[in-house]
Amino acid sequence: MSNDQHLLSTTLSQETVYNGMIIDVAHVHIQLPNGNKTTYEAVLHKGAAAVVPVDDEDNIYLVKQHRPVADLLSLEIPAGKLDYIGEPHIRCAERELQEETGLRCEQLEHLTDLVTTPAFCTEVIGMFLATGLSQHENHLDDDEFIDVIKMPLSEAVNLVMTGQIRDSKTIAGVLMAWQKLHGPKASI
C-alpha cells in the first residue's frame, strides 16, 4: 500500500469521553496526511456476527423484529453481538443462528467482514452463509420478540430491490448469497 501513503492519517492518541451500555464514545486525535491535526469522534462497538441461512430448497430464513431506535419493523438475517471482545465471529454466528431460529447448519462459510459505518464506528460484523440446515428448538431471551420468516431467496432479493429490506447487513447478506449461489460470474 506504499502508493497510498498520501491518503494515510496517523492516530496520535485517543480518550474515552462516554461509557455506555453497548457502545462507548472516544475522541481520536489524528494527524492528517498534510500534517494538520484534528479530532474524530468514534463510536466503539465490540463487534457482531450475522448468518444468511439458505436451505436445500433455496429458502432463506429471516427474523422480523421491531427496532424502536430506528423506528423500523425490520426483516433481518439472524445476528447478534459478540459475547466478549475477541470472541471468534464464527462461534457467535452459530450461536445466534440457533438461538433466534432453532436452525443448525452443516456448513458455515465466511462471506465478508462488513464494516457498518466506517466514518465513525468500529463495529465489524462477521458474515457467514449457512447451508445444510436442520430445524431444532430456538432459545430466545425473555425480552426478545421476533418472528422467523422463511421465503425463497429470490423473494428476499426482491424485498431488497423494492426497499422493503433496509438493514445494511441484511441487504449485503441477501445479495452476496444470491450472487454466490445464482449470480452470473461477475468477471466477464
CB 178 to a second copy: min, Å: 7
Chain-centroid distance of CA 14 in Å reads: 26
Binding residues for a second copy, total number by CB under 8 A: 83
**Pick from 54, 82, 97, 171: which binds a second copy (CB under 8 A)?**
171
- Measured in degrees and rounded to the nearest 5, phi and psi for residue 89 equal -55, -40
8 Å CB contact between 47 and 81: yes
Q: Binding to a second copy by residue 1, rule CB under 8 A?
A: yes
CB 86 to a second copy: min, Å: 15
140 three-class SS: coil
> Rounded distance, CA 74 to CA 76, Å?
6
Q: Binding to a second copy by residue 85, rule CB under 8 A?
A: no
Q: Binding to a second copy by residue 168, rule CB under 8 A?
A: yes
Q: Show Cβ contacts of residue 138 under 8 Å, excluding neighbours closer than 6 positions.
A: 98, 99, 100, 101, 102, 148
95 three-class SS: helix
Quick one: 22 or 137, whose CB is closer to a second copy?
22
- Listed ranges 88-96, 101-109, 128-136, 166-174: which one lies at the site for a second copy (CB under 8 A): 166-174
Kindly give the pairing relationship between strand 48-53 and strand 124-135.
parallel
| Type of residue at 137 | E
Which residues, numbered 108-147, are part of the site for a second copy (CB under 8 A)? 111-124, 142-143, 145-147
**Pick from 43, 90, 149, 151: which binds a second copy (CB under 8 A)?**
43
Q: Binding to a second copy by residue 182, rule CB under 8 A?
A: yes
CB 168 to a second copy: min, Å: 4
**Pick from 16, 67, 88, 135: which binds a second copy (CB under 8 A)?**
67
Residue carrying C-alpha cell 447478506? 173
